[in-house]
Amino acid sequence: AQSVTQLDSQVPVFEEAPVELRCNYSSSVSVYLFWYVQYPNQGLQLLLKYLSGSTLVKGINGFEAEFNKSQTSFHLRKPSVHISDTAEYFCAVSETNAGKSTFGDGTTLTVKP
Amino acid sequence: NAGVTQTPKFRILKIGQSMTLQCAQDMNHNYMYWYRQDPGMGLKLIYYSVGAGITDKGEVPNGYNVSRSTTEYFPLRLELAAPSQTSVYFCASRQPPGQGPGTYGYTFGSGTRLTVV
């Protein structure tokens, strides 16, 4: 079985500051990893994904994430956040031979002016 | 390109009533999913389908039923609604792994907010 733990439920940060949202996962087999963003009253949209290869993956809106197999982590980062980045962020894991993903409980990112 | 369309967007049900949440996708995706999102709890998988005529239970299937007669549609049926089913329901779809690099992530609908009173 697979599981995902997002280590911070809420992350407040000032505009133009860097941010890191932390995600650890557990699985006994190879996995694909994802970050999704959910703006208020909307569905989730894919931010970025790690399938294989380079451990640093870049996504939309200036976000990037680094896959660390030894620490079973997939932390999301952005060097300088904007007010418009205020949203809920979800980390998800999918075993490579399975069709469904398991989601973390989410991290609320609040960017203050 | 509509993607995944969910209807209705909002619904209030009385305890014991039944309803069907509709989900349609126009991307010819084989895999479809139903999740529920409770505040602070992330998304929990209710049911999923890997193709027409094939469905399977997720983590929290009790109180729900699904059918998948075509690739495009994947309705979720609530029988005898209970307050514990108050939640936001999301439908999602994707292609199976291995069918192109753009197919691994989910495409989500905009959700159905259901309140049972």
B5-53 pLDDT per residue, tens: 999 999 999 999 999 999 999 988 889 999 999 987 789 999 999 899 9
Nearest-Cα residue of chain B relative to residue A95: B97
**Nearest residue to A31 via CA among A39, A19, A23, A21:** A23
Compute the nearest-CA separation of B79 from chain A (Å).
25
Question: pLDDT at position B56, please?
Answer: 94
Q: Could you tell me how many CB contacts below 8 A there are between chain A and chain B?
A: 57
Nearest Cα to Cα of residue B36 among A103, A27, A6: A103
Per-residue pLDDT of A38-63, as tens digits, reads 998 888 999 999 988 888 999 999 99
CB contact under 8 A, B105 and A46: yes
- Helix boundaries (H) for chain A: none
pLDDT for residue B4: 94
> By the CB < 8 Å criterion, does A25 face chain B?
no
Write out pLDDT tens, residues A1-18: 789 999 999 999 999 999
**How many whole angstroms separate alpha carbon B23 and alpha carbon A54?**
36
Identify all chain A residues contacting B109, using CB atoms and an 8 Å cutoff: 43
d(CA A40, CA A49): 22
Q: Measure the CA–CA gap between A88 and A27, rounded to whole angstroms.
A: 24
Q: Give the residue carrying structure tokens 């309140």.
A: B115
Q: Chain B residue closest to A40 (CA)? A: B110
Q: Is pLDDT of A97 > 70?
A: no
Is pLDDT at B55 greater than 90 in this prediction? yes
pLDDT of the residue at B75: 98
pLDDT band, residue A92 (cuts 50/70/90): very high
Residue B98, pLDDT score: 66
Is B45 near chain A, with CB under 8 Å? yes
- Nearest chain B residue to A1 by CA distance is B59
Q: Does B48 touch chain A (CB under 8 A)?
A: yes
Q: Does B89 touch chain A (CB under 8 A)?
A: no
Output the pLDDT for position A6.
96
Q: What angle do CA A39, A45, A47 make, to 5 degrees?
A: 100
- Tell me the C-alpha distance between B65 and B79, whole Å: 8
Query: Contact A94/B42, CB-based, under 8 Å?
Result: no
The residue assigned the tokens 């994904």 is A49
What is the overall mean pLDDT for chain B? 91
3-state secondary structure (DSSP) of residue B85? helix
Of B20, B19, B16, B18, nearest in space to B73 by CA: B20
Residue A41's region, left for phi above 0, alpha for psi from -120 to 50, else beta, is: left
In this predicted structure, the answer to whether residue B1 has a pLDDT above a threshold of 70 is no
Helices and strands (DSSP H and E) totals, chain A = 0, 12
- Tell me what percent of chain B is helix, strand and coil, each rounded to the nearest 5: 5, 50, 45
Query: B77: pLDDT confidence band, cut at 50, 70 and 90?
Result: very high
Please answer yes or no on whether A90 and B42 come within 8 Å at the CB atom.
yes
pLDDT reported for residue B73? 97
Q: CB-based contact (8 Å) between A46 and chain B?
A: yes
How many Å separate Cα A102 from the centre of its chain? 13
| Alpha-carbon span B17 to B117, nearest angstrom | 10
- What is the per-residue pLDDT for B41? 79
Contact between B13 and B117 under an 8 Å Cβ cutoff? The reply is: yes
Q: Compute the Cα dihedral for B36, B37, B38, B42 and give only its sign.
A: positive
